[in-house]
Amino acid sequence: MQFYKIFWSGMICLFLLNGCAFFNSEEDVITLSPLPEVKNQFTLHPLWSTSVGRGIGEYYSRLRPVGNDKSLFVADRNGWVKSLNLDTGKVIWQTNLSQKTGFISIKNDSAMLSGGLTVDGDLVYVGSEHAILFALNASDGSVVWKTQVAGEVLSRPIISSYLILIHTGNGMIQAINKTNGSIYWTLNLDVPTLSLRGESDPAISSSGTAVFGGENGRVSAVTIDKGQLIWQQVISEVRGSTEIERIKDVDMRPIIVDGIVYAAAYNGNFVALQLNSGEILWKCNLGSVNDLTIHAGYIYLVDQNDQLIALTSDTGIPVWKQSDLLHRGLTAPVIYNGYLVVGDSEGYLHWLNAEDGRFVTQQEVNRSGFLGAPIEISGKLIIQARNGTVYSFVQKYMTD
């Protein structure tokens, strides 16, 4: 599996619009850190596993499961969308969107789903690289509506009241009526010549503000009802001389907590901003493309070198750093039963003590590896591998 042995440089190549031209020598290849030795304190008890098409393969895609109290919704890049029983993994319904694009002539039979899944009430939303947003009936998978949007839907659709917000690959933010798919407003942002492949999911505040990152190294806030720009704040500082070192995308989804926005740039800073003004409250020199997690007053993130870091949310002061998983292509972290959980590109799940970053348990799950972060639903840990296999686990303590 040579792809995974040079995962970090390979992943950058997938992100970049201009391919791999910058990786010209053996010095540019960064190998994965060896697995740390971990004495497992518990094991993962598999409840069920099932396959969803071909998954995402070696593509960079943010597709990952979403669910509610009863059902789990999953998809593969080619166009299969399935509803699964959350307790058993059995298929409730399935539909193939590859034949339902409708707006454009497609040379292959792939729907190229890419924008993540979102469930809201009776509807499930998913976007594609063909610049189509689908709304499916959550009870039977039928297509309720589909809309041609401004570009590749690389972000997850985010719901705010009667609108869906999406961030397209050409730098457009669009608000779409969630009932009928009509375009409500469009905001055009600057896109540099070279950027990472991926777009920031918008974050929604209760005050009617949407906040998102952009390829221009800025965090922007807009009014949800009209798409009017409220403020922009630059958080990426170009420091290097090479093209890759000068990439300044903010691709992670900002988090809003108590009127404070937390966001990070790839080559830049991790910052806390005032929601109403964009003023920087504090910043530290950390870069990331992964979404972060905030729990019990602490921020957990994976930086661009796959170092796991915990910081205080009020000051940004690091509490601990875990560097034994460098360049293993980690997923975004999630809190499950008080532990911090990440997947990696070789298909391992790593569990860490959230208070000090020590390893608690490590388990190989799927050799195709993980890109999408695990999620927690109704006490279950759900994760989808690159090859499309979806797993449901619960924690099981080991006995002497």
Distance CA 78, CA 61 (A): 12
What pLDDT does 108 receive? 60
What pLDDT does 224 receive? 97
- The mean pLDDT value for 83-103 works out to 88
pLDDT surpassing 70 at residue 184: yes
Q: How many CA atoms, within 13 angstroms, populate the side-chain half-sphere of residue 36? A: 19
pLDDT surpassing 80 at residue 242: no
Averaging pLDDT over each range in 21-30, 159-168, 196-205, 241-250, which range is the top one? Answer: 159-168
Mean pLDDT of the chain: 86
What pLDDT does 187 receive? 92
For residue 35, name the pLDDT band (cuts at 50, 70, 90). Answer: very high
pLDDT in tens, 95-131: 999 876 655 445 567 899 998 899 999 999 999 999 9
Query: Residue 187: what residue type?
Result: L
With CA atoms as reference, report the closest residue to 341 among 316, 326, 363, 324: 363
Distance CA 121, CA 353 (A): 35
Q: List the domains of the chain with CATH numbers.
A: 1-60+320-400 (2.40.10.480)
- The mean pLDDT value for 296-320 works out to 95
Q: What is the 3-state secondary structure (H, E, C) of 6-59?
A: CHHHHHHHHHCCCCCCCCCCHHHCCCCCCCCCCCCCEEEEEEEEEECCCCCCCC
Contact of 213 with 250, CB cutoff 8 Å: yes
Angle at 156 between CA 266 and CA 296, to 5 degrees: 65
What pLDDT does 304 receive? 87
Angle at 368 between CA 54 and CA 200, to 5 degrees: 75
What pLDDT does 61 receive? 84
pTM (predicted TM-score): 0.87
Distance CA 52, CA 366 (A): 14
Q: Is 364 exposed, middle or buried (0-12, 13-18, 19+ CB in 10 A)?
A: exposed
What pLDDT does 269 receive? 85
pLDDT surpassing 80 at residue 16: no
Q: How many CA atoms, within 13 angstroms, populate the side-chain half-sphere of residue 313? A: 17
Distance CA 220, CA 207 (A): 15
Q: In what order do the strands lie in the sheet with 308-312?
A: 293-295, 298-302, 308-312, 318-322
Angle at 321 between CA 218 and CA 60, to 5 degrees: 50
